[in-house]
């Protein structure tokens, strides 16, 4: 490829790994993908990572992507980071992380979330202010946990960042975030487009510790610092975009704008399971995260903590390959191995019921798939209802789901979602939609173009349509009954 061609880098810094996509900015062609792992530690609800591992992984993944794409470093013109949401990164006076980051799925902050939700006028007021009611995942609850459990460390903090903010600052030197990722903190007002001073006062967080909020994730915030250019092996002239959270980047990669509720609501099957839709209206529902999209419109989202990782754990316990599953039959599994967010059961543990002497282990694994898929699809029904639609109406049920994430590439995941939803499904042909969305943000920072329009022109959200199959009402109702009966115990 001639050096005159523009290549952009989209970085997906997720919970367990970093991926860097080298993309032709003109055509959207994925030229190469670099990968590097990082680790998650903790037990008894704790989930922490060393932010230094994220930076090391980012540099390694970017270098691999450029090398495998076989393009001159001089052809790279822009970079953007999409990061796992909600994580709390605290920096000391030396600008370095003062402790491991508290991740989105760290549930130790559940008591702090509950206490915060009762303040400032209660859940309705939080919805009006921030679009979301505090739960354990939200960054505000994590900051409050730190203040209560590690007060000396909290007092010594000189900057507070989200994971993608931290990486963007290492790339460019700019302390900046975007509306999308900021909306997952519960201290950013989606109604006002600014940090909420009453929330910051409530949690004792000095606004001077926070990054500025760029107008969008495609905003150019600078170019690579000398240290970043050396680490990545790229020119200092590479433009750095503000970037965003991983869910917001996936929406960009799918070409989703804010013109109204999607014809294709999205189900993402990853470590967590998420459902979201792009809309100009901001639904107020305590069961949803009322996120902003990276362009300042809205991206209401439901999130379950236990998705592919929980099902894979069942496969390991049973000694089965993840695809060696059968329908659960009379077995029901609620795979809440890490507590749960939607429904809000932060202290829950997994539950298996309906076992017999003759139960096939493959049915137990199939029931784990069903329990996880049920939880995600139930969250989708709640999202649609909050947007003023009847999930059971034929006109709504006939709308295809866009199925993305690592699970969307698995046969059993896809078939389980089809069977329990009874809806047509589109699996986009493009992999790595988060990284591709970040690449579109990078291209927008270089050219000033709308990143959603770029991704639409690239065609990254298109794929084959899988027709609907009859909805498995019996399995759905069986899981619903077990969850209803078990919830009082799970709340303890």
Given 178, 246, 338, 472, which residue is catalytic?
246
Peptide bond into 357 cis (omega under 30): no
pTM of the model as a whole:
0.87
Which residues have C-beta within 8 Å of that of residue 85, sequence separation ≥ 6?
104, 137, 162, 163, 181, 184, 245, 246, 247
Q: What is the dihedral of CA 81, 83, 86, 92, to 10 degrees?
A: -60
CA dist 328 and 415 (Å) reads 13
CB 446 within 8 A of CB 25: yes
pLDDT score recorded for residue 262 = 53
Of residues 274, 239, 253, the one with CA closest to residue 401: 274
CB 240 within 8 A of CB 168: yes
Dihedral sign (CA 129, 131, 133, 135): negative
Tokens of 483: 């969850």
CA dist 412 and 169 (Å) reads 40
CA dist 144 and 147 (Å) reads 5
Q: For every one of its 492 residues, what pLDDT tens digit does the chain have, with 9 covering 90 and above? A: 444 689 999 999 999 999 999 999 999 999 999 999 999 999 889 999 999 999 999 999 999 999 999 999 999 999 999 999 999 999 999 999 999 999 998 999 999 999 999 999 999 999 999 999 999 999 999 999 999 999 999 999 999 999 999 999 999 999 999 999 999 999 999 989 999 999 999 999 999 999 999 999 999 999 999 999 999 999 999 999 999 999 999 999 998 874 444 556 899 998 889 998 888 777 778 888 899 999 878 888 888 989 999 999 999 999 999 999 999 999 999 999 988 878 888 889 999 999 999 999 999 999 999 999 999 999 999 988 888 888 889 888 888 899 998 899 999 999 999 999 999 999 998 889 999 999 999 999 999 999 999 999 999 988 989 999 999 999 999 999 999 999 887 766
SS (H, E, C) 213-244: ECCCCCCEEEECCHHHHHHHCCCCCCEEECCE
At 284 the three-state DSSP class reads coil
Tokens of 364: 């137990």
CA dist 102 and 192 (Å) reads 27
pLDDT score recorded for residue 103 = 96
For 163-198, give one letter per residue: b (16+ CB within 10 A) or e: bbbbbbbbbbbbbbbbbbbbbbbbbbbbeeeebbee
CA dist 124 and 129 (Å) reads 9
CB 106 within 8 A of CB 42: yes
CA dist 74 and 70 (Å) reads 12
What residues does 18 pair with on adjacent strands?
13, 36
Please give the C-alpha separations between residue 15 and each of 10, 104, 314, 453, in angstroms, as whole numbers: 16, 9, 20, 28
| Domains, the chain, with CATH or none | 7-247 (3.30.420.40)
295 classed as catalytic = no
CA dist 328 and 313 (Å) reads 17
Quote the crossing angle between the two packed helices 361-386 and 473-490, to the nearest 10°: 80
Q: What is the DSSP string of 380-421?
A: HHHHHHHTT--TTSHHHHTSPEEEESGGGGSHHHHHHHHHHH
CA dist 315 and 318 (Å) reads 5
What ranges in 95-223 are assigned the alpha helix state H?
110-117, 123-130, 139-149, 151-156, 163-172, 179-182, 197-202
């Amino acid at each position: 490829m001639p050096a005159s061609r523009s290549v952009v880098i989209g970085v997906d810094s997720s919970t367990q790994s970093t991926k860097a996509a080298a993309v032709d900015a003109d055509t959207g062609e994925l030229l190469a993908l670099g990968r590097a792992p990082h680790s998650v530690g903790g037990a008894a609800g704790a989930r922490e990572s060393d932010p230094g591992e994220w930076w090391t992984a980012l540099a390694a993944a970017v270098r691999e992507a450029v090398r495998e794409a076989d393009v001159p470093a001089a052809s790279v013109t822009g970079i953007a980071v999409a990061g796992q949401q909600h994580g709390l990164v605290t920096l000391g006076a030396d600008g370095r992380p003062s402790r491991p980051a508290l991740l989105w799925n760290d549930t130790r902050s559940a008591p702090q979330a509950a206490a915060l939700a009762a303040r400032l006028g209660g859940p309705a007021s939080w919805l009006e202010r921030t679009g979301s009611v505090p739960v354990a995942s939200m960054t505000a609850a994590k900051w409050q946990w730190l203040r209560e459990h590690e007060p000396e460390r909290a007092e010594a903090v000189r900057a507070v960042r989200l994971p993608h903010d931290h990486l963007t600052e290492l790339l460019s030197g700019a302390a900046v975030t975007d509306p999308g990722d900021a909306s997952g903190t519960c201290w950013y007002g989606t109604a006002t487009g600014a940090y909420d001073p009453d929330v910051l006062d409530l949690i004792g967080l000095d606004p001077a510790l926070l990054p500025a909020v760029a107008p969008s994730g495609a905003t150019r915030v600078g170019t690579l610092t000398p240290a970043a250019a050396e680490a990545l092996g790229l020119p200092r002239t590479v433009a750095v975009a503000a970037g965003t959270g991983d869910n917001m980047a996936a929406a960009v990669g799918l070409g989703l704008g804010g013109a109204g509720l999607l014809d294709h609501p999205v189900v993402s099957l990853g470590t967590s399971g998420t459902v979201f839709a792009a809309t100009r209206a901001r639904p107020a529902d305590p069961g949803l995260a009322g996120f902003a999209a990276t362009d300042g419109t809205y991206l209401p989202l439901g999130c379950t903590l236990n998705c592919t990782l929980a099902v894979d754990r069942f496969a390991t316990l049973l000694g089965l390959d993840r695809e060696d599953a059968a329908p659960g039959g009379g077995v029901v599994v609620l795979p809440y191995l890490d507590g749960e967010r939607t429904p809000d059961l932060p202290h829950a543990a997994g539950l298996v019921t309906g076992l017999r002497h003759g139960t096939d282990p493959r049915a137990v694994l199939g029931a784990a798939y069903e329990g996880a898929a049920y939880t995600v699809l139930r969250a989708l029904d709640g999202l649609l209802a909050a947007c003023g639609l009847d999930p059971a109406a034929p006109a709504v049920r006939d709308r295809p789901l866009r199925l993305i994430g690592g699970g969307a590439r698995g046969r059993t995941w896809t078939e389980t979602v089809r069977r329990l939803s009874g809806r047509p499904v589109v699996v986009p042909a493009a992999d790595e939609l988060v990284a591709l969305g970040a690449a579109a943000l990078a291209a927008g920072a270089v050219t000033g173009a709308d990143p959603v329009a770029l991704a639409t022109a690239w065609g990254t959200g298109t794929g084959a349509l899988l027709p609907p199959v009859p909805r498995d009402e019996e399995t759905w109702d069986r899981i619903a009954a077990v969850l209803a009966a078990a919830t009082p115990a799970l709340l303890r």
